[in-house]
């Protein structure tokens, strides 16, 4: 497989010799990536998860896991009046209006369903209480039994194993390749990657039949697009450019 980077940062793929294929490639093994993998597999797709670190779970596995969700049974049992609209208004106010309304709406509208999914499908146990965290006008913070995201990640990994989904650790997404129609046709990854050495590991090219799910977390630098002066940062920059271009599609 060969590719080159055009002057405007776009990649031009000129051969289709991929090392392997999958329907859906999930990048990142936190809450988002593992949930997407479970759903994609349930929909009948072949799925590979790649994770750049040695261990699974990302920030999700170590977070305090206070889940904000409106209208849950735990709230209702305490007579707490709450709604998606109220959560949306609270988030916009806390974000001083700088947040992206469409994304806030998605979070507010889906939080209760996601919470229910963790209880009913994953069998995650929660403390029988609800907290009022900063920025929220009512108590809507739900806490896992061990006060850690590991309670959810652990149950997600159990499901992943039951479904026979591969997770490949130390596999770093380096570049996305788009075809002439702007669809992702493949990716370049580094297998055997050792964080944070961007030259480590060996290059592999995976052809994609259906989709790539970027569940790489929310590093504030993810979308910085200024070309770095340090050569070692080039691959991270190319990945950022790939992501930015996808956001513009």
Chain residues binding ligand FAD by CB under 6 A are: 27-33, 50-53, 58-60, 62-66, 149, 172-173, 215-217, 239
Residue 87: which of 72, 114, 107, 64 has the closest Cα? 107
Provide the sign of the torsion angle of the four alpha carbons 104, 152, 223, 246, taken in this order. negative
Nearest distance from C-beta of residue 122 to ligand FAD, angstroms: 14
Tell me the CA distances in angstroms from 161 to 43, 60, 70, 224, one per residue in order: 16, 18, 31, 35
Q: Quick check: bond before 196 cis, omega within 30?
A: yes
Cβ-based nearer residue to ligand FAD, 3 or 150: 150
Cβ-based nearer residue to ligand FAD, 44 or 134: 134
> Residue 245 and residue 176: Cα distance in Å, rounded?
10
Cβ-based nearer residue to ligand FAD, 14 or 22: 22
Residue 70: which of 92, 86, 89 has the closest Cα? 86
Cβ-based nearer residue to ligand FAD, 13 or 60: 60
Nearest distance from C-beta of residue 47 to ligand FAD, angstroms: 15
Nearest distance from C-beta of residue 199 to ligand FAD, angstroms: 14
Nearest distance from C-beta of residue 12 to ligand FAD, angstroms: 21
Cβ-based nearer residue to ligand FAD, 147 or 161: 147
Residue nearest to ligand FAD (CB): 30
Nearest distance from C-beta of residue 63 to ligand FAD, angstroms: 3
Provide the sign of the torsion angle of the four alpha carbons 197, 203, 205, 206, taken in this order. negative
Nearest distance from C-beta of residue 55 to ligand FAD, angstroms: 8
Degrees (nearest 5) of the Cα angle 52, 169, 26?
75
Six-digit token string for 114: 């996601």
Six-digit token string for 94: 């806390």
Cβ-based nearer residue to ligand FAD, 190 or 207: 190
Phi, psi of 131 (to 5 degrees): -110, 155
């Amino acid at each position: 497989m060969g590719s080159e980077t055009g002057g405007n940062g776009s990649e031009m793929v000129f051969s289709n010799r991929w090392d392997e294929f999958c329907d859906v490639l999930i990048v990142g093994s936190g809450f988002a990536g593992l949930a997407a993998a479970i759903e994609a597999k349930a929909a009948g797709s072949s799925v590979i998860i790649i994770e750049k670190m040695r261990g699974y779970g990302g920030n999700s596995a170590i977070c305090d896991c206070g889940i904000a969700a409106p209208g849950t049974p735990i709230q209702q049992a305490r007579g707490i009046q709450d709604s998606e609209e109220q959560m949306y208004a609270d988030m916009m106010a806390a974000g001083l209006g700088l947040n992206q309304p469409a994304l806030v709406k998605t979070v507010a509208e889906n939080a209760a369903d996601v919470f229910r999914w963790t209880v009913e499908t994953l069998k995650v146990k929660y403390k029988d209480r609800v907290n009022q965290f900063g920025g929220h006008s009512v108590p809507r913070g739900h806490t896992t039994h061990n006060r850690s995201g590991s309670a959810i990640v652990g149950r997600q990994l159990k499901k992943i194993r039951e479904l026979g989904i591969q997770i490949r650790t130390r596999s770093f997404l380096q570049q996305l390749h788009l075809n002439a129609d702007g669809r992702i046709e493949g990716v370049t990854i580094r297998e055997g990657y050792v964080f944070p050495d961007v030259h480590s590991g060996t290059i592999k090219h995976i052809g994609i039949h259906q989709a790539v799910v970027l569940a790489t977390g929310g590093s504030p630098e993810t979308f910085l697009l200024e070309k770095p002066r340090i050569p070692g940062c080039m691959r991270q920059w190319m990945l950022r450019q790939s992501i930015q271009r996808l956001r513009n599609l």
